[in-house]
Amino acid sequence: MTNVVLHPDMAIIQDAQKGAYGGKTIAQQRADWSRYTASLAIPRPNDILVRDELVATPGYDVPVRVYRHAASQGPTACVIYMHGGGFMKGDLDSSDPIAWGFCTETGATVVSVDYRLTPEHPFPAAFDDCMGVLRVAAADPGRFGIDPSRIALVGDSAGGHLAASLCLAARDASGPAIAAQAVVYTVIGTDMAEPSYTENAVGFGLTTEACHKYMKLLIPSSRHAASVYARPFLAADFAGLPPAFVHAAEFDPVRDDSRVYASRLALAGVDVTYREARGMIHGFMRARFKGAGARAEYAAICDFLSNRLAWSM
């Protein structure tokens, strides 16, 4: 792609990514991802209470990590957060700095979901795990000390896909109620023919080739290929979904998935804000501790959530 001018903060991501995509086996790729994400992390603030637990769902006891302000009193808003990693990488530790940041910046209790990964667990395993956690949070809000009328779904990359899928499923099932959704450099299961998959195919960390691989591992057979929860792009109707913040990176193979999703929501009458991080690449949130530009992009997500959920300590 010509005329590429990357934001200076993206050097932070690119430097950290060196060696992060060379693993040949799934185990090596996961270890590379853990090293990459750890290299950009900082310690949690001392005023956040954190605990790990298991949430029993019909198919699996899902590990979650719960973050809550030490000063919180009474029910708070809730962010259910789903991490990225191509559906095959990532865990509670790799997503920890993003998750605790939402707690710090919004005052919400954050429930980070350690959903099952591909290729061992293709669709619908991750979807079922996240939906199970959402249902438990809504049905038993006292467990997490939350207000079930103020639950937001937040996810980046693969996690954004899961958030979009859950919004469709919750609407179709008439609950649980979701107050807002924030999806960041998301994928929605397009056919990957949009311009960004060609324009940004290589050179920006995430590649178009990797995107194809991740989706094939998520949906390895034709059995679920037509499911709107496996590919939200296929939904015929986007009306009635929660207010949305859709956040893309300019130089990202999956950028146009975000553009498509935002436009589909807008055409369906959903209150949607679309923001494109100019000069930035996939994963820009992880640069926020060292870069003011990346920090501003992360703050925009938190501002949306704060406004939709209202601070409650």
pLDDT band at 75 (very low <50, low <70, confident <90, very high): very high
Q: Which of 96, 252, 256, 257 is catalytic?
A: 252
pLDDT tens string 186-197: 999 999 999 999
- Identify the pLDDT of residue 313: 37
Please tell me the distance from the alpha carbon of residue 234 to that of residue 189, in angstroms, as a whole number.
8
- Does the domain made of 10-306 have the CATH classification 3.40.50.1820? yes
pLDDT tens string 101-129: 999 999 999 999 999 999 999 999 999 99
Does the reported pTM lie above 0.75? yes
Query: What percentage of the chain has pLDDT greater than the value 90?
Result: 95
pLDDT band at 312 (very low <50, low <70, confident <90, very high): very low
306 is annotated as an active-site residue: no
Instruction: Examine the pLDDT at 159 and tell me if it is beyond 60.
Output: yes
- Identify the pLDDT of residue 3: 82
Q: Which of 157, 165, 196, 312 is catalytic?
A: 157
128 is annotated as an active-site residue: no
Q: Where are the domains of the chain?
A: 10-306
- Identify the pLDDT of residue 310: 84
83 is annotated as an active-site residue: no
pLDDT band at 93 (very low <50, low <70, confident <90, very high): very high
- Identify the pLDDT of residue 259: 98
pLDDT tens string 5-59: 999 999 999 999 987 677 889 999 999 999 999 999 999 999 999 999 999 999 9
pLDDT tens string 273-304: 999 999 999 999 999 999 999 999 999 999 99
What average pLDDT does this structure show over 248-269? 98
Q: Which of 95, 258, 282, 312 is catalytic?
A: 282
- Identify the pLDDT of residue 2: 59
